[in-house]
Structure 1
Amino acid sequence: MGDEIQLFGAIAVRPAVLPIIASFETATGLSVASKWELNPRVKTQIERGEPFDLVITNPNLVRDLTATGWVLAGSQVPFGRISMGVAAKAGGRAFRVDSIEAFEHALKNAKSIAYASDGTSGGYFTGLLERLGLAAEVKPKLVPILEGRRRPAWLVAKPSWQLFR
């Protein structure tokens, strides 16, 4: 190993990991070159030969990469969890999501719902809609945001869009 560590990580963990990188570099004298992608792309790119020394991605993807020999068995260490959030347009009417029923009501009454469709959170969200029995009713309102772009907030902030009313 040289003086540089190649980190390949999921976009979702980037804000939490960047301060750790700076501390690590200061403590060790090593440098870290980082690349950030959506979780599924991390796995796909590694399988295509993307160079890395350290990968940070979802546990199920680490298991897959371990099973196919891309990740050293036994080297996995869980270190955190990422939550999902719900937001509404600034200045819009407040909504409740403090119970499953209130969350379902908010989804049913939304004019549109923007969500990051390509990443793990998008899969979780659409699976949640299925588990709640709302998929068919809510599907026409969904606005999929591709490739992890930070556009959901932009879409719902435009006057013609409103996440929850």
Structure 2
Amino acid sequence: MSRAGETKMNPVLNASVRWSRRAALGTALAMGSLLASGQALAAELRVITSGAFTEAYKQLIPLFEAASGHTVLSSFGASVGNAPDSIPSRFARGEKFDLVILSETGLEALEKAGKLVPGSRQDLARSAIGVAVRKGTPKPDISTVAALKQTLLNAKSVAYSASASGTYLSTVLFPKLGVAEQLEKTGKKIFSERVGAVVARGDAELGFQQVSELIYFKELDFVGTLPEEVQQSLFFSAGLVQDSEQAAVAQQLVRFLRSAAVAPMVRATGLDPVGQPAAAGTNAR
């Protein structure tokens, strides 16, 4: 997936980014402990992951490879939908993977379709939906449900993901707020691209997507998260693919991704690690 570039994060999350050398050392030591019982021979592990976990994944996988000696072959796609590069479409085409990381709804659908090992789900992180505008443009008020509704009605164009967050917005939130008819005219469902890239180009006034997919665009100003009353916090979870020959290595990677030692790195990408307190101050003000 393309993106317009990496940036300093919004001020709310800046403190999370600057993890200390001590934390990094703790991460390395924990990896050594986690991987000490690793495979005798290096293996190739095929993993596909969805957007919201992508930034954390890209930072952590090289550490896992260096510590374990395994090679991870990575693919990326949307959790839901029928876009050619979406995870469901790639499974439908018969593409082979050992481990999948995606939204809980997408994972449940794959498990029901018989693609995953029953009961293998392991939650990695929670993700909230956020809002961003192009840098330098006025930040709209989304601090209350009423303010969010008015902002949606006033917006000339609104971009939202074709994946899990966008499905919630278009099928649940917009109808609930009574703005669905307006969004049929001004809304843009974005396929196979990050919403932030669309807003950064000026092709949409407002962008709605998982926080972890918005905060890295230097061309954007992060507005905040949806009000709690209408927020949808999704788990992003890992599941073992049926008939994988690398199940043990896949489980090893999952243990690493869930470890407390890497939690600061996960949090810095706009996610709340499983088992960790929610990051303070991420709601819109």
Can you give the 5+ residue segments of structure 1 that lack an aligned partner in the other structure? none
Q: SS of 1:57's equivalent?
A: strand
* Cα distance in structure 1, aligned partners of 2:101 and 2:205: 34
The counterpart of 1:153, out of the listed 182, 191, 199, is 199
Which amino acid in structure 2 is aligned with residue 162 of structure 1?
E
Equivalent residue number for residue 75 of structure 2 = 35
Deviation at 1:15, TM superposition (A): 0.3
The answer to whether the Cα contact below 8 Å between 2:42 and 2:69 also exists between their aligned partners in 1 is no
Q: SS of 1:107's equivalent?
A: helix
Equivalent residue number for residue 168 of structure 2 = 124
* Cα distance in structure 2, aligned partners of 1:45 and 1:66: 15
* Cα distance in structure 2, aligned partners of 1:162 and 1:56: 30
1:14 aligns with 2:60: no
Can you give the 5+ residue segments of structure 2 that lack an aligned partner in the other structure? 1-40, 81-85, 208-285
Aligned residues: 160
Q: SS of 1:55's equivalent?
A: strand
How do 1:76-115 residues align onto structure 2 when only pairs under 5 Å count? 76-115=121-160
For the aligned residues, what is the CA RMSD? 2.2
TM-score by length of 2: 0.51
Which amino acid in structure 2 is aligned with residue 98 of structure 1?
S
TM-score by length of 1: 0.85
Q: SS of 2:127's equivalent?
A: coil
Which amino acid in structure 1 is aligned with residue 72 of structure 2?
V
Deviation digits for residues 53-85 of structure 1 (CA, Å, limit 9, x no counterpart) = 110012222222222321111211011112221
* Cα distance in structure 1, aligned partners of 2:76 and 2:97: 12
Bigger drift between 24-33 and 56-65 goes to 56-65
Identity of aligned residues (%): 28
The answer to whether the Cα contact below 8 Å between 1:113 and 1:141 also exists between their aligned partners in 2 is yes
The answer to whether the Cα contact below 8 Å between 2:42 and 2:71 also exists between their aligned partners in 1 is no
Higher strand share: 2
Which amino acid in structure 2 is aligned with residue 123 of structure 1?
T
* Cα distance in structure 1, aligned partners of 2:42 and 2:69: 11
